[in-house]
Amino acid sequence: MSLYAAYAGNLDARLMTRRAPHSPLRATGWLNGWRLTFGGEQLGWEGALATVVEDPADPGAQVFVALYDVAPMDEDSLDRWEGVGLGIYRRARVRVQTMEGEESAWMFVLDGYEGGLPAARYLGEIADAAESAGAPHDYVMELRKRPC
């Protein structure tokens, strides 16, 4: 099994159950020194797509993530869903801080430039997914206040 750090819409456990039915949720945690942003506006149907970027200028930057134990049979499905073969997203290795300590995981990051605004509906889905995954209230409220 591989450890996968899900952010944005993939925080929704019901959605992940459809995308990776053999891959259980292990924990939630934080990507420290990273921030949620958007890009690839020309690739999205209704605006920019979610991604994360390292932010060394802001030592307090954090992204809430869910960690999944991804079964080998689900890896190809996730790659297809995220458009890895199309060059939309690529895999990256990250370190996630959980209550049990630091974990190494892979995640999908946009293979393009940062910039653009997400659709209001998409941003709402991201905030709803974070809330259902147990993200702190202030984190969810910051998501809901983002420009779209």
Other Cβ atoms within 10 Å of 21 Cβ, number: 12
| Residue-level pLDDT at 42 | 72
| Residue-level pLDDT at 99 | 92
45-69: average pLDDT: 93
Q: Count how many Cα atoms sit within 13 Å of the Cα of residue 57 in the half-sphere of its side chain.
A: 2
Residue 60 above 90 pLDDT? yes
pLDDT digits (tens, 9 = 90+) for 14-45: 999 999 999 999 999 999 999 999 998 777 66
Domain borders along the chain are: 2-138
Residue 133 above 80 pLDDT? yes
95-107: average pLDDT: 95
Residue 119 above 70 pLDDT? yes
| Residue-level pLDDT at 40 | 86
The topology under which CATH files domain 2-138 is Hypothetical upf0131 protein ytfp (3.10.490)
Contact 139, 130 (CB under 8 A): yes
Task: State how far Cα 121 lies from the chain centre.
Answer: 17
> 41, 113, 104: which is closest to 67 by C-alpha?
104
Using 50, 70 and 90 to split pLDDT, how confident is the model at 90?
A: very high
